Structure 1
């Protein structure tokens, strides 16, 4: 049989079997009525597209979770797994060549196979079950999966671990753009996290606020779910394609993550000699491996590109203006997923901390609270043990010709900055170093190596700490309200200098702009007038040189402050004000008229803005049509939890809990976002039943 006919026949047979399986499944599901969640393996889908997964066994719960993720994000999930294999160009063409080169150069596929073999037999079976759920859904609903991504099927357990590496080690810790630019500047990713103890809680119960800010697309999308199986009943969210919850709570405890100020990679400059490189006075040969990278052409044929990967004792080698070798933490620690799983299964602080001590998760601050009233901030990271230097030193290119600069160990758990139950009664992190997690300060930077974390505090972190510091008794409703705060801390620092300077030095438009800024509420609410003018003025300023008083460790929450050059600031205001008036017809154009919540079929006035402005309610925008802006990152998954009896929780997945074409849950939570509201979390069978849309029984 000709190859093209054989391919057509296989595809036809697959679709036919899928239709048959789907029909049988629909008949089975349709005959079921709602019953006790303990009697069967099932997924209960609520009105916001959140799957409540019940497994009689742990493998069955994993399988259902794979099924659920495919139903909500099938095209995206398969695309991500295909890229993690390093075969995306083979599947989808030339535009994925650089992605494949990155994945293969960093050794992801081979390491994924090694990690899979290193899993405990039980957890390996869970990964297999998750993959089985993906494949089973694809067989049952092939008509709902895009034809272009079906080539990734079937998914295997090792694909999950390849995806995990791509997300954590080779995107969050280091990504290709950082290597290309030899820069440690972090990708646009951040978060807020709060933990409030009973002494500062109005109800006397500990509270937790989870609030990651990630891009609203690709591998950064959050997926909200509840997983119930023997030994676990946890609610939270994870990134698409990850088979366990990464941020979660149960009846007794919960945690969230923020991206921490952590340096987990280094670029070593190599001195080349005689076809190798110099190391400790001797010439060493490179290890070399050649890959045949297949690339799909427009006519469907495949071309081959040869990729030669060289490695030094440091790691993979990249050659541009300089020949550098990349060293990344965590590549010898395959237990991240099992650690997250066991964190969600923990029932008290002792159990939870014992799991953290494995130190398999390569990065992320852990902010924790529990029913017993404990709160904790852990600077969780696989920090290399370095012989010398501070944080800034290790962000530079490191000499690679000596073993004196080559780190081989990481700091154990006991070495990491950590505070449990501080006297203040509250903890916060807004991607600032751990030294500013609470006030009075509870972690002394002088007690740790200078390379662990920098010393700084952003305006967003200052705004975060200010709200907590100024409220002696915080209620659950107040915590939710604070979470939605759009006040610009930067405005509070600069307007008292800018407004009088504009009136003194400025022309007519500068003085009119000053009047607008004087009456502005200093927030980025949809109806805030003056926020657009101020934000665009800040964008035009060089904030590195703008302040008369720079940031000081002695005054971390009130500096930097003041204008270094008021006349230059006014000149910038004149230019920006003229452009705003010309573009939008008024200097006091409402924030929500210019900044829009445009996602899918939704288009609403936005509230919130750039964290650099000192806004706690983060939204990052890009230019859209008609001089408007639309969000691409920021508040993504939000959960507010009070460890009362029963637990009180509200949540929001800003962009909705699905990306699959045709889903009604794409953008369906944005109206609540626009209203600064969260929605109740339904965890018990009574509430789930009251909001049940669909039940699937397995």
Structure 2
């Protein structure tokens, strides 16, 4: 009897274990399925980055496609026609990055709840309410009206699905197994969602609500003076003094100032410090070889899998090399036989907030003394487990109302009963513009392509083998009266509507300027001679000044110089202000010798006095200065920010802060608001004292643990924030305000330089690797070289035979 009892207990436990191994527990996958040696994660280690099979046949091809993979798994695709080229692009991209493609598409369409359940519902609702799904639909509707674009997107979709259709569960990418779901068919809508993703990252930002609150406390004149956008010492993208001859006038502003009724938080999304970019081109007369030189390095989140995918596309009428976002069939940054190009974030104002007045039933809104019906859009969100959630988004003619006053926003950064006007919700032929850019043969062609890219707005720099260099802004720029959109708009009156867009030819641009170079680094676009208002929220021009000062000294520039400038870690602020800062502290200590100083205070002053003012990875002085700088900025503005502490607010940028600290204009507004000049020496001394105290308490006396890279060095994070699938912090020099704009998980996501000879010579690198498979050495194989500042040669081959001479493997795609 006892034997049978033991048997049944053992059987019960066995069945229980089997049961537990085959069900999901919370967000965890079924462990039995996940760890199965025949179909679980172990199989991912056996998946090659480059296919071992030499031939594949498909119904969807018109002719044979030859794909050559180099030793870094970069595909060089050679097709006989456009359809097959983009089919193959979709196929190889899915082979390396399927999960990343699908996950980012789900995020762009507000579909994350389908993957992880109700915990993502509010996030999905937010994405639907800002119009992500709606905008992608409008883009696809527009693309279907262009037969060539429709054909390309359908071919790309067919290629992605050709890979998915032959994929066996044991070969599913790791993340599918972790989250316990399977790939679904790719659609053209998902490719269009990529445009919305990029637009959200780069253009869905406004400080209107914060500045409106601050205007109520400080007054309009003070806010405009302390947040000027362009101020004395700014280094605009377009050369100072450029004259503009336009036959267009800005709209006339309203006679009276609108005072909104809301008391809410900051609107929409901010661009984190560090999301920026550099690009530049050098004229032939400044180059040692007599060829134009080009460089680009966008600063974006440092992710694994990498946000970029590298490839060459070659077919009749197109031969292009570079990087793109997984999910896009077109090269976003790169070069062809005639041109090289890259872009930086523009950050001009393309989203406005409107206070809306609704009727009692919340079905009509008040506009120009009449009630107008809201347009209702039903958004159905599927939730993992079989549930669905229906959400009604209410649209005014401005755009969607994100939340009603009886709804709780996703977070406190979103005000209720405000509508959003955003250029990304206008149907955009952006994908068509990218296609034209890929095939451009000169500056005129390239600008034609840019004229189609209505979102997001960016600063494109390009150079040609003919010796031309150029910078061109793109996108829909609302034609505004001065400062329209700086504060909350009155949604009841038509004078606050966008009246029109600035014509493409009137957007800031520069072709072959006298100074012999063009550049951009996210700073203000123009000086005050430009007649149209486009916003105030731009990066301080420290990176731009370092770049322009360096380029302006070159008369025999080389590719080595371009690489060196991309890796430049100079601290412009320290070069400009540190001596004055140290003099002020020494003067204060001489006047007040009894100040109680931390033990390491004088050592810190000594280190700063001896510092080379470069943000080197191993520098202790850099850590002290950067933390001191931030602390000073906080302490300086504390008397003015105090009344605003319970409201959303901003601090003026570092350049304005230093000007005010040293009693330079616009210090008069500081005095008017606080009643006193800032006590410069006291603020500096007390701030440094506190920085030394905090560093010592946390890390001990000044030493190895104070090295700059341990506070700022880059690290790569997985899209799902799984620590084991990311990297450790790396000892890399730079800062967010140096050309090598390193800041924790942000930094140069793609470095490229090119000499515009015939043929073009190019080099580039990105952190990460070609494959998205964490079990593969190729997942992260470029990162060490990237951190060391190395570059790989980028080869644009004319023929399959040329590429075949330097290949790791060849895959032939054949028609059945």
Counterpart CA distance in 1 for 2:771 and 2:463 is 29
1:389 aligns with 2:482: yes
**1:579-594 map, 5 Å:** 579-589=694-704, 590-594=707-711
Q: What's 1:480 paired with?
A: 563
Partner of residue 368, structure 1? 462
Question: Contact 1:636/1:655 (CA < 8 Å) preserved in 2?
Answer: no
8 Å CA contact 2:196, 2:424 repeated in 1:
no
Structure whose alpha-carbon radius of gyration is higher: 2
| Equivalent residue, structure 1, for 2:615 | 524
RMSD in angstroms over aligned alpha carbons?
A: 3.3
The equivalent residue for 1:556 is none
The number of aligned residues is 638
Distance 1:475 1:59, change over 3 A: same
Runs of 5+ unmatched residues, structure 2:
1-21, 23-38, 58-62, 210-264, 406-414, 590-594, 634-653, 667-677, 717-724
Check whether the contact 2:600–2:701 (CA below 8 A) recurs between aligned residues: no
Compute the TM-score of the two structures, normalised by the length of structure 1. Answer: 0.84
In 2, Cα distance between the equivalents of 1:84 and 1:149? 21
2:663 and 2:158 mapped to 1: Cα distance?
Answer: 56
- Structure 2 counterparts to residues 505-524 of structure 1, below 5 A: 505=589, 507=597, 508-524=599-615
Deviates more, 1:403-412 or 1:678-687: 678-687
What CA distance in whole angstroms lies between the structure 1 residues aligned with 2:499 and 2:90? 36
Deviation at residue 110 of structure 1 after TM alignment: 4.8
1:79-98 matched pairs, under 5 angstroms:
79-98=103-122
Is 1:127 the equivalent of 2:153? Answer: yes
Displacement, 1:602?
Answer: 4.9
Residue 260 of structure 1: CA displacement? 0.6
2:347/2:457 contact within 8 Å kept: no
How far apart, CA to CA, are the structure 1 residues paired with 2:349 and 2:142?
26
**Contact 2:304 / 2:726 at 8 angstroms: preserved in 1?**
no
Q: Aligned partners of 2:766 and 2:715: how far apart in 1?
A: 15
Aligned pairs for 1:462-611 within 5 A: 462-503=545-586, 505=589, 507=597, 508-542=599-633, 543=654, 545-547=657-659, 548=661, 565-589=680-704, 590-599=707-716, 600=725, 602-603=727-728, 605-611=730-736
**1:222/1:175 Cα in 2 relative to 1: closer, same or farther (>3 Å)?**
farther
1:66 aligns with: 90
Q: 1:679 aligned to 2:802?
A: no
- Secondary structure of 2:299's match? strand
Contact 2:401 / 2:419 at 8 angstroms: preserved in 1? yes
How far residue 595 of structure 1 moved from its aligned partner, in angstroms, is: 4.4
Tell me how far apart the structure 2 counterparts of residues 361 and 48 of structure 1 sit (CA, whole Å). 32
| From 361, 366, 380, the counterpart of 2:474 | 380
Judged with a 3 Å threshold, the aligned counterparts in structure 2 of structure 1 residues 546 and 564 are, in CA distance, closer, same or farther, namely farther
Q: Which stretch has the larger CA shift, 337-346 or 500-509?
A: 500-509
505, 520, 527: which one pairs with 1:429?
A: 520
**Counterpart residue number, 1:650:** 763
- Secondary structure at 1:449 match in 2: coil
After superposing the two structures, state which structure 1 stretch, 684-693 or 394-403, moved more.
684-693
Give 1:52's aligned residue. 76
Question: Which residue is 2:202 aligned to?
Answer: 172
Give me the whole-angstrom Cα distance separating, in 2, the residues matched to 1:449 and 1:114.
29
Structure 1 residues 491-500 or 199-208, which shifts more? 491-500
**Is the contact between residue 533 and residue 587 of structure 1 (CA under 8 Å) also seen in structure 2?**
no
Alignment-derived partner of residue 156 in structure 1? 187
Aligned twin of 1:237:
323
Out of 386, 390, 395, the position equivalent to 1:306 is 390
Offset at residue 394 of structure 1 (A): 1.0
Q: Is the 8 A contact 1:214 1:220 kept in 2?
A: no
Counterparts of 1:564 and 1:464, CA distance in 2: 34
- Offset, 1:187: 4.2
Matches within 5 A, 1:678-697: 678-684=791-797, 689=804, 692-697=807-812
Change (3 A) 1:449 1:668: same
Contact 1:194 1:429 (8 Å CA) reproduced: yes
**Matched position secondary structure for 1:153:** coil
SS at match of 2:485: helix
Q: Distance in 2 between matches of 1:586 and 1:689?
A: 58
Q: Distance in 2 between matches of 1:669 and 1:375?
A: 30
Aligned counterpart, 1:7:
none
CA shift for structure 1 position 457 = 4.4
Contact 2:522 2:538 in 1 (8 A): no
Query: Which structure has more RCO (C-alpha within 8 Å, separation ≥ 6)?
Result: 2
Which deviates more from structure 2 when the two are superposed, residues 681-690 or residues 304-313?
Answer: 681-690
Distance 1:651 1:220, change over 3 A: closer
- Cα distance, 1:564 vs structure 2: 6.9
Instruction: Call closer, same or farther: CA 1:369–1:224 in 2, change over 3 Å.
Output: same
**Separation of aligned partners in 1, 2:549 and 2:766:** 26
Q: What SS does the corresponding residue of 1:272 show, helix, strand or coil?
A: coil
**Following the alignment from structure 1 to structure 2, what is the Cα–Cα distance between the partners of residues 524 and 457?**
17
Once the two structures are TM-superposed, the CA of residue 453 in structure 1 deviates from its matched residue by: 6.2
Do the aligned partners of 2:115 and 2:181 also contact (CA within 8 Å) in 1?
no
> Structure 1 or 2: larger strand share?
1
Question: What is the TM-score normalised by the length of structure 2?
Answer: 0.72
Partners in 2 of 1:291 and 1:382 — Cα distance? 27
CA 304–261 in structure 1, closer or farther in 2 if over 3 Å, else same: closer
**Alpha-carbon distance in 1 for matches of 2:87, 2:417:** 45
Match of 1:223 among 306, 309, 312: 309
CA contact (8 A) 2:203 2:347 kept: no
In 1: Cα distance, 2:664 partner to 2:280 partner:
23
> Counterpart in 2 of 1:349?
443
Judged with a 3 Å threshold, the aligned counterparts in structure 2 of structure 1 residues 652 and 26 are, in CA distance, closer, same or farther, namely: closer
Deviation of 1:235 (Å): 1.1
CA deviation vs aligned residue, 1:179-230 (integer Å, no higher than 9, x gap): 9721674345210010111121122111111110011238981222211121
Equivalent in 256, 276, 280 of residue 190 of structure 1? 276
Contact 1:545/1:564 (CA < 8 Å) preserved in 2? Answer: no
Q: CA deviation at 1:686?
A: 8.0
Residue 558 of structure 1 is matched in structure 2 by: none
Q: In structure 2, what is the Cα distance between the partners aligned to 1:668 and 1:609?
A: 22
SS at match of 1:138: helix
Residue 294 (structure 2) aligns with? 208
- CA-CA distance at 1:71 after TM superposition: 2.5
Cα 1:525/1:52, change in 2 over 3 Å: farther
Q: Alpha-carbon deviation of 1:26?
A: 6.7
Moved more, 466-475 or 367-376: 466-475
SS at match of 1:52: strand
Identify unmatched segments of 5+ residues in structure 1.
5-14, 33-38, 436-443, 554-562, 622-631
2:414 is equivalent to residue 327 of structure 1: no
Counterparts of 1:339 and 1:634, CA distance in 2: 27
Shift of 1:636: 0.5
Change (3 A) 1:309 1:455: closer
8 Å contact 1:601–1:667 — kept in the other structure? no
Per the alignment, do residues 353 and 231 of structure 1 end up closer, same or farther by CA in structure 2, a change over 3 Å counting? same
The alignment status of 1:265 with 2:388, answered yes or no, reads no
User: In 1, distance between residues paired with 2:85 and 2:417?
Assistant: 47
C-alpha distance in 1 between matches for 2:207 and 2:118? 18
Q: 1:688 to 1:515 in 2, by over 3 A?
A: farther
- Shift, 1:697, TM fit: 1.7
